[in-house]
Each structure stands twice: as C-alpha cells, then as structure tokens.
Amino acid sequence: MPQSLARSLGFAPLVPLWVLVTLGILAVVLCAYALFRRTKGAFLRLAALLSVLVWLAGPQRLHESWHVLPETALLLVDQSPSMSVGQRAAIARQAASTLAQAHTDGLNLRTVTVRNSGHNGTRLFDALEQAAADVPPDQLAGVVMITDGQVADIPASVPDRLRPTTPDGKHLTLPLHVLLPAKGEETDRQLRILQAPPYAIVGQPAKLRVQVDDAGPGTTPGAQADVTLRVNGEDPVVIPVRTGSPQDISLPVPHPGQMLVSLSVAPLEGEVSQLNNQSVTHITGIRDRLRVLLISGTPNQGERVWRRLLKADPSVDLIHFTILRPPDKDDGTPLSDLALIAFPVRELFQDKIDQFDLIILDGFENRNILPHAYLNNIASFVRKGGGLLLTGGPEFVGPGTLQDTPVGDILPAHVPSEGGMVEQRFRPKLTAEGRRHPVTAALPGAPPQNSSADTAQTIPGQWGPWYRALKPDSTHGQTLMSGPDNAPLLVLDHVDQGRVALLLSDQIWLWSRGEGGGGPQAELLRRISHWLMKEPELEEEQLTAAIAGGELTVTRRSTADAAQKSVTVTPPGSPAISLALKPPAEDAGNKEDAAGLSVGRMQADKPGIWQVDDGTHKAFAAPVQPDPQEFADLRATATRISSVVSASGGGVFWSGDNSASPRVPSLRLADGSTQHGADWMGFPHRNAHVVTGKSATPLLPAWLMLGLSLCLLFAGWWREGRR
C-alpha cells in the first residue's frame, strides 16, 4: 500500500495556556522596565525567558500517514443515430473496449454509453454532467468522448465539472479528450426544407423554400446542384439550385387532399452519406371557399336544419332561396304591393352555375319555375363535376316533377306516381353497403345490423322514427339507407365526373327535434355534402398508407362484398413485394365499425417514399425522422467541439475507419501543463488521499532548551557586568 508522510508543526503545552500567557506578559514587562532603566543585557534575559516559554508551549512535529486514492476518468461513448453511418458505431465500441481493458496505475475508467432519447440531437455534455455528479470532485481526472462530433449541447466554455476548485481556492482545468471514428474531416451535402405550408388552396401554387448546403474540406458555397421534386410518386421534375442560399419552388395543387412531396438532391462527390440528401413534407390541398346553392321549393321544417348546418361551416359560402310564391299561384295581389324579390333564374342557372360546388334542391317542385334549358344546365353542371343533392317529398309524385325533366336523367332512383308515397312510422337503418361506405359507416347511434327498423318502441341503439318516405320502383348507384319495407331511402351515384345524392324523404328534420331519440342528422348531411364535393376522406374506394415507429400500415376501404386480399408495396430503391391484407376486426373491437376495411402491416425503416398499389389506386408514405437535428449534418468533424477541447487542455484524435483495429491512444497520468501527445491522452495528478494515521515527536528536546536558556542568562549577566 503506497504511503507518504506529511510533516507539519503543532503544540502540546506543558502548562495551562493562561500560565504561558501570564509568563509571557511578565517577561515583556520586565524587559520593558529594564530597557527603561537602560539595564545592560536586557535583551539577552528576555531571549532566555522566551526560550523557556517556547519549550513550555511544547512544539511538536506532526506526522500523517495517508492512502492515495485512484483518480476517475469518464469515458462517454456516443451511440446516437448519427453514429449509424458507416462503421462509426462499431469503431466506437471497439475503441471503448480497448481503452477499458488498458490498465493505468492510479486511474480508473468509467464508461457511459449515450443514446439519443429525445428530439434535440445528441447531448453528450448533459450526460457528462450527470455522470460526473457520481464522482467526488477531487477524484475526477478528466473526460474522454468517443463521438462523431455532432453534439447539440456544446457549451461556450469548459463545463464547470471540468473546472474544480483546489484547496487553495484556485480553479483547476481538467482535460477533455475527443476520439473521432474516422480518418479525418469528412464532407457532406444536406437538403433542408426551410418553409412548407401545411395547407394550400386548390388551383393556386404552393410555395416551398429549400436550401442545399455543402460542408467539409474543399466545398464552396454557390455551387450548382440539381434538386428532384416528386409529388405522390409522379414523374420527377429537376430544378437547378445554388448551394448555400435559399431557393423558392412553386408547386401546383390540382386537387383537394393530402399530397406527399419528396425532394432529393444529387450527391456530392466523396460525401460521407446520402441520408440527408432527401426530405419529405405533406401538403393538404383544400378548397378556398365551397359555394353552395340551396333552393327550397316551399317553406318547410327542414329549411332551418339546412341553414344551420351550412352556416356553421366557415368554409362554405351559402346562397339560399325559398320559393314563396310560384308563378302559377295568383291571389290577386298587385305586383306593386308584393315585398318578394324576383327569383334570379338566369343569373343562378345560366350565368353563374359553374361557380357553385354543390346545388341542393330541398322539396323543389318545378311548376314551370325553371325553363327546360336551365334544367339542362343543372344536368350538365353535374356531368362536368358538380354535386347535386335532392330531398324528396310529395312533390315527387305529382305532375311536373323533376323526374320528367332533364334532371331526371341523372337521378339515381325513379318514384312512380301510383304508390310512390308511403306514410307510415318507420326507423331508418343502414344497408349492408351503407355499413361499408364512409358516408354512413359508423354513424353515431346506428342500429345493429340484425335489429328491426320498424319497431314502435324506442330501443337504445336505434334512430328516431320518420313518418313519410318515397318508394322508388327502380334505383341505380349505391343504396346506403333503407326505409319502410326495406325500400331504398338514401341513394348515391356517380354521373360522369359529378355526383348525385337522393334522400327519399323530407323528414330528416325530425332527428334535429329529438323525435323518438333523434339521430345523427347534422353528421349525416355533412358527410353527404362533403362526399358530393369530393372530400378524399369520404371516397368509397380508398387506399391509404402511413409509416410510424418504423412500421408501414396500409388501409384499404371498399364497399365491395369481397375484401381485397393483398397489395403491392414498393420500398425506395428496392423491388416490389406483396403485402397481405386482413380484416381489422381483432384490432377494432367492433366488427360493424370495421366493415369494408382491410389492413396490412410491415417493417419500414428505409428512408424515402414507399409506394402502395392495389391495381387501381396508389398511395404513398414516407417515414418521418424522430430527430431531424440528428441527421442534419452527417460528417465526422472536430470543428464544432475543438474550441472546448483546446480550452480544457485536451486533444483531438482520429481512430481511422477500420472497426476491427481502430487507432486508440494510450492513457496516462502526466505532470506538467501538457496533457496529450500524438498517441497518448493525459490526466493530471490530483493527489487525492485519505489520512490513515497520525503521530507526533517533540520539536525541541528539554536538555537543548535548558542549555540554551542557561547560556542566554549567563550571557546577560556577563553583559551586565561589563563597564
């Protein structure tokens, strides 16, 4: 066990302290009196008295025996995601193992592995602070970091943990050494999306702002680079940019719904990795304003329902007309006395009809209100991509109905004049197709599939009753709800590029009044309206894909009876593979809510755009990096951390790119100001120790002090006796 002696002076008085003080005062007084009397030899007598007092004070030499404590150096091993580039992680592990196995007398090495667990990049200095808190300040020798240099929390100066206070009140700077798993400074090219709007107006260009940066030896800003732009996997567009400066890119937004925009830049010669040469963003196309024309044939209970629903949507511009006095009604009132405005037929149905997205005819009976040409315009409006919603009542079975006009050619059902109106209590229910269609699937309070819709009593889980409906003799399209005797109640249909919805009853307003428990009137009408305006989330045939947590989830929705069994998945830069789809009943918990759905999952940890194809539809997905800062710069570089390393007196070392035998400097305890060399890392001697024992020996022997005192007294007498 190494030991050392530390000597210091102590006192063990032979008499009480007050006696020493009294004798000392007396000696001083006598000396002063002798000097006043000009007595010769006074100083020699005083010296003799003081020698006696010093001997009585018992001066001693104190001896301490102590044990030297080993010093501790922290070894922080970076295993963050950026260390996955090339062989960095393997080199770091091998270098850490080599350092841990090396033995240096008086030095212990404590290894701490640092993994990125947040979204703010690699934080090695936070890990240093936590690890150093467990080491006594007088035993900390310094720190070694094995990292690629991409550290997010580099301080402006040496951390306080590496500047401990010595016993004499001074600050000692401990070294910080850095070992980088590479041959030397590397180069890298990075593509960043500076600005990307989450939403964009359909028909107007969306503006992206991107920047390409080159970093590392031999790179210069202003070089030309080619950026490739793809939208939903379509044909690429190549855009030349200059590195080091922002570039604006205009992107057309042709339709509503989500757009997956991928950007990639041509690689830089010799760059370390191309992982950050690409980026992905999502932009959702939305309509600026949805213009809806609502025509109520006569004042009715459902008008307020429609107005409340459409006015509550801030994205809807509603134009509403109610026909209070049809042309064939003449009560003798002079026209000059009427307060009604003329119905702007020409303006609505010829001049501006193409400006609307949706036309709603609520209980509309023609009665020669619209000429034949304007009814043709409505049918043409639908065929060119517009939406038409009709709610039918008694006006559908009388003379002059819309069924007998050009509008009848686009209606999905025909109601006969004889027996076409049924007046009886019934409860609407979903058809099998309606349980799969997104317009009516999982509507709140939908009755179970096996329940009777015509029961008179109110049963939890059933919608409230209606009392009147139309009974068509023919339908085409998709029947989502049924009424009395299972007759079609809600029918949707595609007409060329447009869509038509027909509700064969005018009593949906009863649900808003809570009749028999009410029903999801507002939600149903909202879904029908947005389906007519081609809301992507309400399409009856959907294929969606999403990547989260390294897993690709593919969801297929269909109204077909037989669910699709598989889809084709094309990973980035890899051949296509088949992915099986299964009903999600086990995950959904409610079988009816999952009707029409099939789901497939697979691992997807490869960056880039993944394409999914079912033969008719395509979907795209891209993984989102959990910590973009970690992959912003993929170089192994000492430029960012070198200032702190230099200020601490540490060194920067490069281990090479061979994971089997990296170049690892040796560790040593070094005296002097230099703490590193070409192949070694040094740490200062802290001299930390614990005292194991104490002993004392008299500083002045009694015989020596007695002889000295007598000599001084004799000298004083001799001086006094001289003339």
Of the candidates 106, 95, 112, the one whose C-alpha atom is nearest the C-alpha of residue 72 is: 106
Q: pLDDT tens-digit profile of 239-281?
A: 999 999 999 999 998 888 888 888 999 999 999 988 888 888 8
Residue 450: per-residue pLDDT:
59
276 in the same domain as 298? no
pLDDT-wise least confident of 68-77, 497-506, 545-554, 560-569: 560-569
pLDDT at res. 3? 39
pLDDT for position 331: 56
Query: Looking at the domain assignment, is residue 589 inside a domain?
Result: yes
| 334 within domain boundaries | no
CB 583 within 8 A of CB 594: yes
- Do 615 and 710 lie in one domain? The reply is no
Of the candidates 497, 501, 459, the residue with the CA atom closest to the CA atom of residue 479: 501
465 and 427 in contact (C-beta within 8 Å)? yes
Work out the pLDDT band at 305, boundaries 50, 70, 90: confident
Tens digit of pLDDT for each residue in 567-603? 999 988 789 999 999 887 554 444 555 677 889 999 9
Q: Domain total for the chain?
A: 5
Model pLDDT for residues 633-645, shown as the tens digit of each residue: 899 999 999 999 9
What domain range is 682 assigned to? 70-183+636-687
Q: Are residues 29 and 74 in the same domain?
A: no
Identify the CATH number of the domain in which residue 452 sits.
3.40.50.880
Query: In the chain, what percentage of residues exceed pLDDT 70?
Result: 85
Q: Do 467 and 596 belong to one domain?
A: no
Which long-range CB contacts under 8 A does 165-168 form with residues at least 24 apart? 165/137
In a domain, 107, yes or no: yes
Looking at the structure, tell me whether residues 553 and 497 fall in a common domain.
no
- 82 three-class SS: helix
Res. 125: pLDDT tops 90:
yes
246/124 same-domain check: no
As a whole number of angstroms, the distance between CA 697 and CA 679 comes to: 48
Based on the domain organization, do 110 and 139 belong to the same domain?
yes
- Is residue 703 predicted with pLDDT exceeding 80? no
Of residues 534 and 336, the one with the higher pLDDT is: 534
pLDDT surpassing 80 at residue 96:
yes
Q: Assess whether 138 and 163 both reside in one domain.
A: yes
233 within some domain: yes
Model confidence, pTM: 0.70
Query: Do residue 647 and residue 674 come from a single domain?
Result: yes
Contact 122, 113 (CB under 8 A): no
Residues 553 and 568 in one domain: yes
Mean pLDDT of the chain: 83
List all residues 6 or more positions away from 103 whose beta carbon is below 8 Å from its beta carbon. Answer: none
CB atoms within 10 A of CB 6: 12
